[in-house]
Amino acid sequence: MAQSTVNFRTFRNLVSRNKKRFRNFLTRMEKKSIGQVRLIKLEANELAWAKTDCLDCANCCKTMSPTYTKKDITRISKFLGMTSSSFKEKWLYKDRTGDWLNKKQPCQFLDLNTNMCNIYEVRPEDCAGFPHHGTKSIRDYGHVFKQNVEFCPATYRLVEIMQEGISDGKWKLK
């Protein structure tokens, strides 16, 4: 199994120490101007990714499920040479809200030796966009960032860098 250079024991300790503070910070950001927060978020995002390598982590693929759209199911099942219904029957279930999710964790398509995705070129849109830092505003998506802080080291770093940058005066918000 791939050895992660993300130390998850340390990460979990940091999360339990800081998650309340980060949630409160995100709640404050939800009330600020989308444009101002977006510029800070984009800059902080670059800094967060400079410190994060997903191949050292894969925690999203190990602990969460993507939501599969109809297009995802059609594309992936074709890639695997399966019908959509046999693909759904083998790997997915429908939750109470009607979303198609993985039955098992870690995701069946994760190579646990390399942390790579075996269907990378046709992976679900949700996986391709995760953790949605560049595309979703904190005002609209703050509730998801609040959850992801606990699972995704990149989101944790994004919020940490934003909060430190604002409290140090590097970035100013009205």
Could you list the residues that contact ligand SF4 (CB under 6 A)?
A: 52, 54, 57-61, 66, 107, 109-110, 117, 119, 123-124, 127, 130-131, 151-154
Residue located via tokens 């120490």: 17
Query: Which neighbouring-strand residues pair with 33?
Result: none
Using the CB atoms, write b or e for 80-116: b if 16+ within 10 Å. bebeeeebbeebbeeeeeeebbbeeebbebbeeeebe
If DSSP codes are grouped into helix, strand and coil, which group holds residue 116?
A: strand
Residues 90 and 79: beta-carbon distance below 8 Å: no
- Between 11 and 25, CB nearer to ligand SF4: 11
Q: In the complex, what is the shortest distance from the CB of residue 27 to ligand SF4, in angstroms, rounded to a whole number?
A: 22
Distance of closest approach, residue 36 Cβ to ligand SF4, in angstroms: 25
If the CB atoms of residues 29 and 61 are measured against ligand SF4, the closer one turns out to be 61
**Beta-carbon contacts of residue 37 (< 8 Å; ≥ 6 apart):** 29, 137, 138, 139, 173
CB of 130 to ligand SF4, least distance (A): 5
How many helices (DSSP H) and strands (DSSP E) are in the chain? Answer: 8, 4
Give the nearer residue to ligand SF4 in terms of CB position, either 86 or 120: 120
Nearest distance from C-beta of residue 113 to ligand SF4, angstroms: 13
Nearer to ligand SF4, 36 or 67 (CB): 67
> Min. distance of Cβ 111 from ligand SF4 in angstroms?
8
